[in-house]
């Protein structure tokens, strides 16, 4: 599961990098790299939110913290990303001309699609694999306890 704190930290770092590059008058190629990092972190944060809506079974059982705290964290992170996105739109359109933001939106869509096709599927497969292993271990442990109890009961009763 993606950590929302790490994702918002990465988004903020990339956002600050974009602001510095634009303020320094750097070329668009330099800014696109930093902006790509920001979009990646924003996608990670959105993915973390969707994972919170449908968490794995073991996360449901052992999660801590209040519902209010979780809701407030999600809201604050979303608002911060919206604020950063608006500032990025203004910065890029002023520095590189009107329409630059639309080009960046297209870049965002391609990065999002690429991530969903590769990174997130791999993470989901890995998480499902480890959950399956844990479930199998628990089932085997349960059968072992039941079988061992039956065997010991049989020994005590003189059945064997």
pLDDT in tens, 82-120: 898 888 888 878 877 888 888 878 887 888 788 888 888
The pLDDT value recorded for residue 121 is 84
If one compares 95 and 131, the residue with the highest pLDDT of the two is 131
User: Across all residues in the chain, what is the average pLDDT?
Assistant: 81
H helices of the chain, in order, are 4-23, 28-53, 57-62, 67-96, 100-117, 119-157
The pLDDT value recorded for residue 13 is 84
pTM, 2 dp: 0.54
The pLDDT value recorded for residue 9 is 81
């Amino acid at each position: 599961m993606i950590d929302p704190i790490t994702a918002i930290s990465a988004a903020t770092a990339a956002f600050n990098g974009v602001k510095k590059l634009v303020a320094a008058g750097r070329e668009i190629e330099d800014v696109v790299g930093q902006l790509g990092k920001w979009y990646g972190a924003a996608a990670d944060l959105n993915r973390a939110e969707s994972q919170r809506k449908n968490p794995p079974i073991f996360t449901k059982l052992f999660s801590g913290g209040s519902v209010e705290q979780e809701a407030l964290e999600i809201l604050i992170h979303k608002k911060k990303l919206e604020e950063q996105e608006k500032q990025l739109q203004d910065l890029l359109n002023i520095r590189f001309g009107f329409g630059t933001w639309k080009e960046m939106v297209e870049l965002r869509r391609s990065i999002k699609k690429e991530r969903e096709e590769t990174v997130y599927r791999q993470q989901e497969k890995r998480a499902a694999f480890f959950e399956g292993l844990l479930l199998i271990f628990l089932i085997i442990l349960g059968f072992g306890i039941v079988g061992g109890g039956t065997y010991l009961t049989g020994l005590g009763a003189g059945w064997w």
